[in-house]
Amino acid sequence: MKAAFLGFAKQVEQSTGLSFFENPGVDNLCFATNPELRAVYKSYFTTADLWHYIFALMPGVNEEQLEFASIPLPENADAFWCFLHE
């Protein structure tokens, strides 16, 4: 499961131009990890962001039932963030 999740994260990186940080640390920029930062200014997504995206597209599916190949990739970063804020 972890390998499939990381593979999907890599595909999302390629389709959005965003970087994936599995465990983001403290950033030198004071607002980089602020939850109120608008999506247009974000340059990376986290594990939690990716799960939110997946479950926004696949409501009612649990982790054991997931087939990552069936999850549509976002066309760009805006589309990715749009699903997290619906």
Domain boundaries, the chain: 2-22+41-84
Which residues make Cβ contacts (< 8 Å) with residue 65, sequence separation at least 6?
Answer: none
What's the pLDDT tens digit per position in 2-55? 899 999 999 999 999 999 988 766 555 555 555 565 666 678 899 999 999 999
pTM of the full structure? 0.80
Looking at residue 7, what is its pLDDT? 96
Which residues contact residue 55 at a Cβ distance below 8 angstroms, ignoring those fewer than 6 apart? 61
Mean pLDDT value of segment 56-79: 90
Contacts with 46 (C-beta within 8 Å, 6 or more apart), sequence order: 20, 21, 22, 24
What is d(CA 70, CA 78) in angstroms, rounded to the nearest whole number? Answer: 21
pLDDT at position 38: 60
